[in-house]
Amino acid sequence: MVYNINYFIIVKFSTMEDKELSPQESLDLIQQMIGKARKRYTDNSFYFLLWGWITIVASVFHYVAASYTSFEYPYAGWSLTVVGAIVSMVKGSKDGRTAKVHNYTDKMYGWLWASLGIGMFTIIFNGQLLGWSVVPFILLFAGIGTSVSGAMMNFLPLRIGAVIFWLLALAAFRVDPNQQMLLMASGVAFGYLIPGYIMKSNAKKNAI
């Protein structure tokens, strides 16, 4: 975050052709640059809320269908992840085109979640070899993503969410695959949804 703020300030000052600023103008400029840097990350609430709700709906559907119905395809709800992937790519592409500045931190953030997504897909694709007990590993990966994201944003709710993900991963190794779905839903509620809504609320409150 400090890197981003400094970057914006340097760029802005370099375009002012050595114009002398009053103390108040300097303060206003710094606040403006901080706001721009913060906005780059508060916008990410969209992705946490999108994937949080998709995962909760799919997990609860899977649990209810497998535990209380004779439906043969309880995993059908996970087809929502395809919709989520398409929406995320469209949104990411649009944000990339409208962004005025791209920097190293942005690239690292994108590669972090892309890499974790590939890891999660690999585990799920080979789920049969694990007896479909894939949730503990997904929770571990999600914890890594939220932990690093929380550190990059200096955002405590995400770091707390990461700890919850990891604790639930420990528990998930000790229950059957159907019950793991409830742990998955609980994990994303605390790790994605609550931080996402706090992030979104902070953005509105600060007019970011």
Q: What is the pLDDT of residue 93?
A: 83
Are 54 and 123 in the same domain?
A: yes
Are 16 and 104 in the same domain?
A: no
Ranked by mean pLDDT, the top range of 12-16, 59-63, 154-158 is 59-63
- Name which of 13-17, 136-140, 185-189 the model is least confident about: 13-17
Number of domain units in the chain: 2
Are 195 and 175 in the same domain?
A: yes
Are 27 and 87 in the same domain?
A: no
Q: What is the pLDDT of residue 65?
A: 95
**Mean pLDDT on 11-21:** 49
Q: Which domain holds residue 32?
A: 1-40
Q: What is the pTM of this model?
A: 0.76
Q: What is the pLDDT of residue 152?
A: 86
Q: What is the pLDDT of residue 36?
A: 53
Q: What is the pLDDT of residue 8?
A: 41
**Mean pLDDT on 6-34:** 53
51/97: higher pLDDT: 51
- State the amino acid at position 135 in one-letter form: V
Contacts of 154-162 with C-beta under 8 Å, sequence gap 24+, read 154/1, 155/41, 155/195, 155/199, 157/194, 157/195, 157/198, 157/199, 158/191, 158/195, 160/190, 160/195, 161/190, 161/191, 161/192, 161/194, 161/195, 162/191
Q: What is the pLDDT of residue 3?
A: 40
- pLDDT at residue 134 above 50? yes
Are 51 and 27 in the same domain?
A: no
Mean pLDDT for all residues in the chain: 82
